[in-house]
Chain A
Amino acid sequence: MEAFVRHSGLVYPLNRANIDTDQIIPKQFLKRIERKGFWKFLFYNWRYDDDGNLRDDFSLNYPEYQGASVLVAGENFGCGSSREHAPWAIQDYGFRVVIAPSFADIFYSNCFKNGILPVQLKRDEVSQIMDRAGGGECYLSVDLVDQIVFDRTGWSATFEIDEYHKNMLLNGWDEISVTLTYDDAISAFENQQN
Chain B
Amino acid sequence: MSQPETIIEKIWKKHVVHQEEGKPDLLYIDLHLVHEVTSPQAFEGLRMNSRKVRRPDLTFATMDHNVPTIHRNVIKDAISKKQMETLEENCEEFGVSLADIHHPDQGIVHIIGPELGLTQPGKTIVCGDSHTSTHGAFGAIAFGIGTSEVEHVLSTQTLWQAPPKTMQVKVNGKLGTGVTAKDLILAIIAKFGVRFGSGYIMEYTGEAIRDMSMEERMTVCNMSIEAGARAGLISPDEKTVQFVEGRRHAPKGEEFEKAEKEWLALATDEGAVYDSTVEINADEIEPQVSWGTNPSQCVPVSASVPDPEKVTDDEDGVRRALEYMGLEPNQPIESIELQHVFIGSCTNARLADLRKAARMIEGRKVHEGIRAMVVPGSFAVKQEAETEGLDRIFMEAGFEWRSAGCSMCLGMNDDIVPPGEHCASTSNRNFEGRQGNGARTHLVSPEMAAVAAVEGHFVDVRKYTSAAERVI
Contact = CB atoms under 8 A, between A and B. Distances in A.
A110 B148 CA distance: 7
Chain B CB within 10 A, most for which of A17, A18, A110, A183: A18
B38 A23 contact: no
Contacts of A7: none
B162 interface: yes
Given A33-B41, A82-B145, A186-B156, A76 B410 contact: no
Interface string A158-194: 0000111000000000011001101101100110010
B77 A31 contact: yes
Contact of B228 (A16, A23, A105, A164): A105
A31 B79 contact: yes
Contacts of A75: 195
A80 interface: yes
A134 to B, nearest CB: 13
Interface string B34-59: 00011011001100010100100000
A75 B296 CA distance: 14
Contacts of A35: 41, 44
B41 A176 contact: no
Nearest to B40: A33
B76 to A, nearest CB: 13
A113 interface: yes
Contacts of B82: 31, 33
Contacts of A31: 37, 66, 77, 79-80, 82-83, 412
Contact of A80 (B54, B230, B431): B431
A106 B228 CA distance: 9
Contacts of B79: 31-32
A176 to B, nearest CB: 5
B434 A79 contact: no
Contacts of A22: 410, 429, 431-434
Interface stretch (B16-24, B253-261, B271-279): B16-24
Contacts of A186: 17, 26, 28, 54, 156-158
A179 B158 contact: yes
B281 interface: no
A47 interface: no
A84 B18 contact: no
A142 B230 CA distance: 28
Nearest to B145: A82
Nearest to A35: B41
Interface residues of A, number: 48
A5 interface: no
A156 to B, nearest CB: 26
B22 A163 contact: yes
A8 interface: no
Interface in A20-54: 20, 22-23, 26-28, 30-35, 45, 50
A18 B313 CA distance: 13
Nearest to A79: B194
Interface in A105-157: 105-106, 109-110, 113-114
A104 interface: yes
Nearest to A31: B79
A76 B431 CA distance: 14
Nearest to B83: A31
A27 B411 contact: yes
A76 B314 CA distance: 13
Given A27-B411, A82-B129, A185-B26, A33 B195 contact: no
Interface in A74-97: 75-76, 79-84, 87
A69 interface: no
Contact of A113 (B146, B225, B412): B146
Contacts of B23: 163-164
B38 A83 contact: yes
B128 interface: yes
B437 interface: yes
B83 A33 contact: yes
A27 B411 CA distance: 7
Given A31-B77, A113-B149, A82 B156 contact: no
A76 B145 contact: no
Contact of B194 (A18, A82, A164): A18
A133 to B, nearest CB: 17
B313 to A, nearest CB: 9
A106 B41 contact: no
Nearest to A167: B22
Contact of A182 (B26, B66, B230): B26
B194 A76 contact: yes
Given A22-B429, A33-B86, A104 B144 contact: no
Given A18-B317, A79-B194, A106 B432 contact: no
A87 B77 CA distance: 25
Contact of B195 (A32, A76, A183): A76
A175 B433 contact: no
B152 interface: yes
B284 to A, nearest CB: 26
B348 interface: no
A26 B437 contact: yes
Contacts of B268: none
Contacts of B152: 175-176, 179
Contacts of B86: 33
A185 B17 contact: yes
A82 B22 contact: no
Shortest beta-carbon contacts, A-B, top 7: A113-B148, A33-B40, A84-B146, A110-B146, A82-B144, A84-B147, A31-B79
12 contacts: A17-B314, A18-B194, A18-B317, A31-B66, A84-B146, A84-B147, A164-B23, A179-B26, A185-B17, A186-B17, A189-B17, A190-B28
Interface of B: 17-18, 22-24, 26, 28, 37-38, 40-41, 44-45, 49, 51, 54, 65-66, 77, 79-80, 82-83, 86, 128-130, 144-149, 151-152, 155-158, 160, 162, 194-195, 198-199, 225-226, 228, 230, 294, 314, 316-317, 320, 410-412, 429, 431-434, 437
